[in-house]
Amino acid sequence: MTDRIAELKAQCISREVRGTNAFDSYMIDKFDSEKFAELIIRECAKLVRKHNYQSIQNEEPLYGITSSEILEHFGVEE
């Protein structure tokens, strides 16, 4: 696993208090898999934007899929 994936994973963990009172309460880590998927999709779209920008700067033709198509395919708002 790359460092970037580990960073994205860390952004998806939240702490929750469980229990009925102060004497039997405890903390759990909750992983939000939907947020993790969205962050990965956004990361992919960001890479496409970067590639397309570099291609335009170098006056190279653009090929393939756009970042908007990736986001739309997975139903993620820009």
Full-prediction pTM beyond 0.75? Answer: no
Q: What are the pLDDT digits (tens) for 50-62? A: 888 888 888 887 7
Q: Which residues pair with 47 in a beta bridge?
A: none
CB 45 within 8 A of CB 70: yes
pLDDT value at residue 64? 79
Residue labelled with tokens 């006056």: 59
Nearest Cα to 32, choosing from 17, 20, 18, 14? 14
Q: How many domains does the chain have?
A: 1
Give the domain range for residue 56: 3-74
Angstrom CA distances, 31 to 10, 24, 50, 69, 77, stand at 9, 22, 29, 27, 22
